[in-house]
Amino acid sequence: MINVSVRKYAGEGDLQALANLINTCETVDCQEEGTSVTELQLELNSPLIDKGRDICLWQDDRGRLVGFAKILIIKTKETSDGWLLYRIHPEARGGELEKEIFTWAEKRMWEVEGARNMPVKLRYWGRAERSDEIALLASFGFTGDRYFYRMKRALSEPIPEPQFPQGFTLHQGAQQDTEAWVQMFNDSFIDHWNPYDVTIEEIKYELTKPTYKPELDLKAVAPDGTSAAFCYCSINPYQNARIGRAEGWITFLGTRRGFRKIGLGRAMLLSGLRRLKAVGMEEALLIVDTENPTGALRLYESVGFCKVLTFISHVKKL
């Protein structure tokens, strides 16, 4: 039995030890979820994270990090959702540390409930094939409430020429007018499951990342000048180097109400795929809600995407 003690995140001096812990877990779990100091720094500097309260660490009696937990707190229309991510060193699993992490997470969300005076939920994102993890979550009161697919498409396959409705033009997105882009994003996802509004602060932070590529940030502009649809693509060069593949992501694809059912979504998707191929990517990936009400799953299948993994959103109402 490993004796552990809890402490707060101490800042960038913890990044290397955190990367070592996560990568040690990856050698056992083989989930393609390794990391680096640079990636962790970008992740933990997000304006959505309160480093003093949303991150917690556990170390053994030698001072070695054996546990890490982070909560990303998102305000939806009706609740504040805390998305929990955690890692436990393989030698420290199966004891009390799991209980400590979930207890800490619930306590943090109760603090949020008190501060915001609105209901809170604790959430966890996990793979459907991880029966051990699903059983652990169930033992702490979690249930699955939504399924998602990770889908992939080879960019070596032909990509049809995008066909935009008459008068619509393709532009680069958020850098030109951040406020308008944020409004377009929020309007586009208003009908989706568990929607939340992104903020100008979040998007401005994304634009400062060294991995941001303006040529992969696309929007369609209507004849009257309205930003009608968008396709935001991304590449993680650190992950690609780690796994030895050239993968790009269709990170977000959305169309505003009033501009749907006229082919904009398909045109933007094909434009994003062509841009990813143009910058040297060999495969495109995305995540889709299996019950998406706008027909996104059918759209992705129609242009050649195939399911490679299933994920479950787990929830615990507090």
- Report pTM: 0.94
Looking at residue 137, its pLDDT comes to 97
Strand ranges in 76-119 using DSSP code E only, listed in sequence order: 80-88
What does the pLDDT average to over 115-132? 95
- Residue 51 C-alpha from the chain's centroid: 18
Percent of the chain past pLDDT 90, that is, above it, reads 94
pLDDT (average), residues 287-302: 95
User: What is the arithmetic mean of pLDDT over 234-253?
Assistant: 97
| Residue appearing with tokens 């532009």 | 171
Judge contact between 215 and 172, C-beta under 8 A.
yes
**pLDDT value, residue 118:** 92
Strand partners, 124: 84, 314
Q: What is the pLDDT of residues 195-239, one digit of tens each?
A: 999 999 999 999 999 999 999 999 999 999 999 999 999 999 999
User: What b/e sequence results for 64-86 when a residue is b if at least 16 CB atoms lie within 10 Å of its CB, and e otherwise?
Assistant: bbbbbbbbbbbeeeebbbbbbeb
Question: 77 pLDDT exceeds 90?
Answer: no
DSSP 224: T
Average pLDDT value for the chain: 96
Looking at residues 112-120, what average pLDDT do you find?
Answer: 93
Whose CA is closest to 315, among 83, 104, 123? 123
Collapse the DSSP code of 11 into the 3-class scheme (helix H, G, I; strand E, B; otherwise coil) and give the result.
Answer: coil
Give the mean model confidence (pLDDT) for residues 33-37: 97
For 171, 222, 230, 258, the CA distances from 225, given in Å and listed in that order, are: 11, 5, 14, 14
Q: How far apart are CA 279 and CA 206, in angstroms?
A: 19
Report d(CA 9, CA 121) in Å as an integer.
23
Question: What confidence category does residue 3 fall into, taking pLDDT thresholds of 50, 70 and 90?
Answer: confident
For the cut 90, the answer to whether the pLDDT of residue 294 exceeds it is no
